[in-house]
Amino acid sequence: MMNISCNTDFFSGGGDPAPNLRAIANAGFTHVMWCHHWNTDFLYTAPEYRRIKELLKENDLILQDIHGSSGVEKCWFSTDESCRQAGVLLVKNRLEMMQELSATGVLTMHGPFFSKDLPERREQDARQFDQVRKSLDELMPLLEKYDTAIAVENLIGDTWEMLEELLATYPAERFGITFDAGHSHIYISPGWEFFCKWKDRVLALHLHDNDSTEDKHQPPFYGSIDWDALTKVLAGSSYNAPLSFEISMRCTPFAHTEDLRNPPPEKIEAFMTDAYERCVRVHKFFEFYQKKLKKI
């Protein structure tokens, strides 16, 4: 049996997660990355923890990683101090959620970054960087208490400068990288060389495909990512959890054009069956290189 993880928001990231989790399990995935509400300021509470725990048990799924909120009015790197403090509370909420649901992985967060294409924003970005360091300093005691870590994701156009400085500042057991393969493949994102350089700090994955022009979040082999080369590097990295895919129906033949957020069940099933088969192919590449490295 292959342990492979899939994101919960492959067609919708709000409302009742039951259909999403059922489809993920029926396709053959064993783990999930919780991505619901990643782009909202939603705060989870005890009744929701109980409901999600029941659904995970019902579907025989294991919670791996959680994608924390990118911050709307509660942003952990905001230059508005009240907004930053509220953002820290939102991060703490997701860390608590990980504990309540026995997550096996880490908390993925978006952070500030110097943009390759927007050098005029560098001064503002630097102020945000000061704020995220303040937030990380405040969060370290809780990360130690829960014995978990935050992994910051590489974003489109990211020069990786800020991420490299954070990696040099915070300990590997508390801070690392969520490597987003699709983001690194966009033509303005110089991600590949940094992924190779910092492969020993990879704690989480967002694996998905595109044609290098836009962020499509397609399952593997729809775009032009070299999955053989990627898994070869990954097999020699610090990553030691089930491969985790962050996929979407929207840029595939299974997309339901009338309502992307409410596709019919047969479309969901067909998409997930196809996506799982594609993810298994990547997993086989990964296994091959893992075995090869063990023989050396």
pLDDT tens per residue, range 77-100:
999 999 999 999 999 999 999 999
pLDDT exceeds cutoff 60 at 29: yes
Which stretch of 88-92, 148-152, 204-208, 291-295 has the lowest confidence by average pLDDT? 291-295
Question: Residue 190 — pLDDT band, cuts 50, 70, 90?
Answer: low
What number is the average pLDDT over the span 151-167? 93
Distance in angstroms (rounded) separating the CA atoms of residues 76 and 86: 7
Residue 13, pLDDT > 80, answer yes
The model's pTM: 0.95
CB 67 within 8 A of CB 38: yes
Confidence bin at 261 (pLDDT 50/70/90): low
Q: What is the mean pLDDT of residues 24-34?
A: 98
Pick the residue with more confidence: 125 or 142?
A: 142
Strand order from edge to edge, sheet including 31-34: 202-206, 175-180, 150-153, 107-109, 62-67, 31-34, 4-7, 243-245
Structure-block tokens of residue 139: 């969060």
Q: b/e per residue, 179-198, with b = 16+ CB within 10 A?
A: bbbbbbbbeebebeebbeeb
SS3 179: strand
Q: What is residue 259's predicted lDDT score, i.e. its pLDDT?
A: 62
Q: What is the reported pLDDT for 49?
A: 98
Average pLDDT over residues 209-213: 96
* Phi then psi dihedrals of residue 154, to 5 deg: -75, 130
pLDDT at 75: 98
Percent of the chain at pLDDT exceeding 90: 85
The predicted model gives 257-281 an average pLDDT of: 88
Could you confirm whether domain 4-295 is CATH 3.20.20.150?
yes
pLDDT digits (tens, 9 = 90+) for 97-128: 999 999 999 999 999 988 777 777 788 889 99
For residues 62-88, average pLDDT: 97
Where is pLDDT greater, at 160 or 109?
Answer: 109
Check residue 153 and give its pLDDT: 96
State the average pLDDT for the chain.
94
Which of 201, 205, 196, 207 has its CA nearest to residue 233? 196
> pLDDT at position 45, please?
98
What stretch of H or E contains 151? Answer: strand 150-153
pLDDT, average across residues 263-268: 89
Cα–Cα dist 89/80, whole Å: 15
pLDDT at 139 over 80: yes
pLDDT range class, residue 258, cuts 50, 70, 90: low
DSSP 115: B
Task: Between 190 and 74, name the one with better pLDDT.
Answer: 74
